[in-house]
Amino acid sequence: MALRVLVPNGRLLAHLDVPGITPIFWHINDSVEEAPEAEVLITERPLLFERRDRVAKIPGLQHVHLLSLGFEWILDHLPSTVSLSNSKGAVEDATAEHTLALILASLREIPRATIQQQQQAWNPLWGGTLHGSTVLLLGFGGVGQEIYQRLQPFKPRKILAVASRARTTEEGLVVHGIDELPQLLPSAEIVIVALPDSPNTRGIVGKEFLAQMPNGSLLVNVGRGPVVNTEALLVELESERLSAALDVTDPEPLPAGHPLWTAPNCLVTPHIAGNTTMFIDLAMNLAVEQVKRLAAGDAPLHLVRG
């Protein structure tokens, strides 16, 4: 019997139309009808929160492959008998690249220059720089490590890598433990958050954390919105003591009228760090390989939960 696979787009539908596999178009967010019976679901995170539990209603489901790195949204809805994999290796480079874009745009006053361009006003601006700065990188998984590599050419004075536990990498890099943050934050002119959303990380960047950042420093969040306490951040932004560049927010999507949209010195992009044409190619190719492995009875790649 052919392996039935629910796919969210025509590209996968075409590439998986091979012997032993029956691709079926079904989009978790957009399809009106309930999912047909299938053994495998390939999906992205639904934009509508209420569509997430549709995963639990797919008859015969055995495995879910995510077109993303993050998987926290699905865990509460995934039956215990269903295994889960993600697109590790497809999104890290794009996210790191966007992180540098956010930092440079914020430091070099690009948003303000854009406004001046619209006003046809020639007013030279002075900004900050990565060169000679101390950068604290909170989260040193796949994304964090790619960010670290991309920071190097900009000649920061120091990069402080921080993870859940202290360790030294095979390359000799000292990674600080999260318990060291009170000693590290006061010297960090740029703080980059690249943490996933979990009970241990939620709200970790709160009032106390932000208070320890020096005046004029920049907070960049490319991890998950709930890692940062929005109300605490707004207090710092509205006082103009700190700046922020956010690709993820809490709540998300950020509703019209939310104060983050208009907060001073706050740059917001709508969770697009991974949205590149290269990411699409890498994620699609990985999804095809994953399904072919499952159809052949081989173990799936990048298993998050067995």
Q: Read out DSSP for the chain?
A: -PEEEEESSHHHHHHT-STTEEEEE--TTT--SPPPP-SEEEEPPPSSGGGGGGGGG-TT--EEEESSS--GGGGGGS-TT-EEE--TTTSHHHHHHHHHHHHHHHHTTHHHHHHHHHHT---------STT-EEEEE--SHHHHHHHHHHGGG--SEEEEEESS-EE-TT--EEEEGGGHHHHGGG-SEEEE-PPP-TTTTT-BSHHHHHTSPTT-EEEE-S-GGGB-HHHHHHHHHTTS-EEEESS-SSSSPPTT-GGGT-TTEEE--S-TT--HHHHHHHHHHHHHHHHHHHTTPPPSSEEE-
Q: What is the CB-side half-sphere exposure of residue 301 using CA atoms within 13 A?
A: 17
Which band of pLDDT confidence, cut at 50, 70 and 90, is reported for residue 283? very high
159 & 226 share domain? yes
Query: Does 155 share its domain with 242?
Result: yes
Residues 137 and 232 grouped into a single domain: yes
Answer whether 135's CB lies under 8 Å from 159's CB: yes
State the pLDDT at residue 242.
98
Shared domain for 107 and 82, answered yes or no, is no
Same domain, 45 and 111: no
Beta strands 174-177 and 243-246: pairing type? unpaired
Average pLDDT rounded to a whole number, residues 2-22: 96
Question: CA 249 to CA 228: how far, in whole Å?
Answer: 8
CATH number at residue 34: 3.40.50.720
- Quickly state the pLDDT bin for 1 (edges 50, 70, 90): confident
Statement to judge: residues 290 and 235 lie in one domain: no
Total domain count, the chain: 2
Percent of the chain scoring above 90 in pLDDT? 96
* Per-residue confidence (pLDDT) for residue 234, from 0 to 100: 98
pLDDT at 306: 84
Average pLDDT value for the chain: 96
Q: At residue 273, does pLDDT exceed 90? A: yes
pLDDT per position as a tens digit, 160-172: 999 999 999 989 9
Task: Determine the structural domain holding residue 129 and report its residue range.
Answer: 92-268
85/183 same-domain check: no
Condensed to tens digits (0 to 9), the pLDDT of residues 56-99 reads 999 999 999 999 998 989 999 999 999 999 999 999 999 999 99
| Same domain, residue pair 36 and 100 | no
Looking at the structure, tell me whether residues 256 and 132 fall in a common domain.
yes
| 251 in the same domain as 171 | yes
Q: What is the pLDDT of residues 129-149, one digit of tens each?
A: 999 999 999 999 999 999 999
The tens digit of pLDDT for each residue in 221-268 reads 999 999 999 999 999 999 999 999 999 999 999 999 999 999 999 999
In this structure, are 113 and 237 located in the same domain? yes
Does residue 214 surpass a pLDDT of 90? Answer: yes
116 and 255 both lie in a single domain: yes
